[in-house]
């Protein structure tokens, strides 16, 4: 009976902790969603469940004569998509090299990546800005993409390398006996088995540019090149800017592409390894 009571107490405490954490996470999100449907621009009178819900703020965002929101959205989608593609390609090749080959400087390279991943990008803002000036990449999306891709390589290389190390090297050796080259082994054997970690890295590298404000605000100058984070900040930071409910509506729409990408990749988180292992 004592064991049964202890089990009930542990379950109760576990569910209590989960409930508290859920409230902490969900409550602000519900407040933002509710504010986006509140009439007016002030948050002082906003309610989580508005008395007179309206879509006027969403309409204003899509009205190109009143807002550049669609331009900012397109910029963010372009930057996030290209960052995701280039990051996955470079991280996959780098992690595969560190996992499968032994070469001079391998350990030093891994240690360097370990140190670099401890340093956030914004800690090197001055260096990034000066480098952007020297390469004439200030106020360009290419400069921002290069910074995001470079910042994503160290941590994600360690993540993918750890995953690739769990894939038996006997598969590589068997493929070599059958006459497969390095690239064929990489693309036809290793990458299908690494779908789960590829999906995780793709999701992480897609989300990061959407939520970044510091680097984008430093490198971008023209309003038509703003990302969503910088554009929405400009919406409420400019003189007499008090469009907080419109800001809330814009924040809600940011979650749509991230949710779509997560749902698209969700199956790979679970079934990717099995699917890769059963390919002929």
For the CA atoms of 27, 28, 34, 35, what is the dihedral angle to 10 degrees? 150
Encoding tokens for residue 202? Answer: 């793709």
Spatial separation of the C-alpha atoms in residues 144 and 7, rounded to whole Å: 52
Spatial separation of the C-alpha atoms in residues 235 and 221, rounded to whole Å: 15
Say what the pTM is.
0.83
Residue with tokens 């449907």: 37
Domains assigned to the chain? 2-55 (no CATH), 68-277 (1.10.3720.10)
Q: Could you tell me where the beta strands, DSSP code E, fall in the chain?
A: none
Handedness of CA 53, 57, 60, 66 (dihedral sign): positive
Spatial separation of the C-alpha atoms in residues 186 and 177, rounded to whole Å: 15
Question: For each of the chain's 280 residues, which pLDDT tens digit applies?
Answer: 577 788 888 888 999 999 999 999 888 888 888 888 887 766 666 666 777 778 888 888 888 887 889 999 999 999 999 999 999 999 999 999 998 888 888 889 888 888 887 777 777 888 889 999 999 999 999 999 999 999 899 889 988 998 898 888 888 888 888 888 888 888 888 888 888 889 989 999 999 898 889 899 999 989 899 999 998 888 777 645 567 788 888 888 888 888 888 888 877 766 444 433 444 3
Q: Say how many Å lie between the first and final Cα of the chain, rounded.
A: 54
Spatial separation of the C-alpha atoms in residues 146 and 267, rounded to whole Å: 30
DSSP string of 121-136, one letter each residue = GGGGHHHHHHHHHHTT
CA distances from 123 to 127, 128, 199 (A): 9, 9, 28
């Amino acid at each position: 009976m004592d064991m049964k009571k202890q089990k009930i107490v542990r379950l109760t405490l576990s569910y209590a902790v989960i409930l508290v954490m859920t409230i902490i996470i969900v409550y602000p999100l519900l407040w933002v969603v509710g504010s986006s449907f509140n009439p007016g621009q002030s948050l002082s009178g906003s309610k989580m469940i508005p008395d007179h819900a309206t879509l006027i703020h969403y309409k204003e965002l899509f009205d190109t004569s009143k807002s550049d929101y669609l331009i900012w959205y397109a910029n963010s989608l372009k930057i996030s998509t290209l960052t995701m593609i280039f990051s996955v390609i470079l991280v996959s090749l780098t992690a595969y090299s560190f996992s499968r080959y032994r070469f001079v400087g391998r350990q030093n390279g891994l240690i360097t990546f370990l140190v670099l991943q401890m340093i956030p990008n914004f800690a090197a803002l001055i260096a990034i800005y000066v480098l952007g000036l020297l390469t004439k990449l200030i106020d360009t999306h290419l400069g921002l993409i290069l910074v995001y891709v470079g910042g994503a390589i160290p941590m994600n290389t360690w993540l993918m390398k750890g995953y690739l190390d769990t894939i038996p090297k006997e598969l590589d050796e068997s493929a070599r006996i059958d006459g497969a080259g390095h690239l064929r082994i990489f693309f036809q054997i290793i990458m299908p088995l690494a779908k789960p970690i590829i999906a995780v890295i793709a999701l992480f590298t897609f989300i990061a540019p959407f939520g970044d404000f510091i680097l984008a605000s430093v490198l971008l100058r023209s309003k038509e090149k703003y990302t969503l984070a910088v554009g929405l900040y400009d919406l409420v930071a400019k003189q007499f800017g008090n469009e907080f409910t419109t800001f809330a509506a814009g924040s809600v729409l940011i979650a749509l592409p991230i949710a779509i990408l997560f749902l698209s990749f969700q199956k790979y988180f679970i079934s990717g390894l099995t699917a890769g292992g059963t390919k002929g």
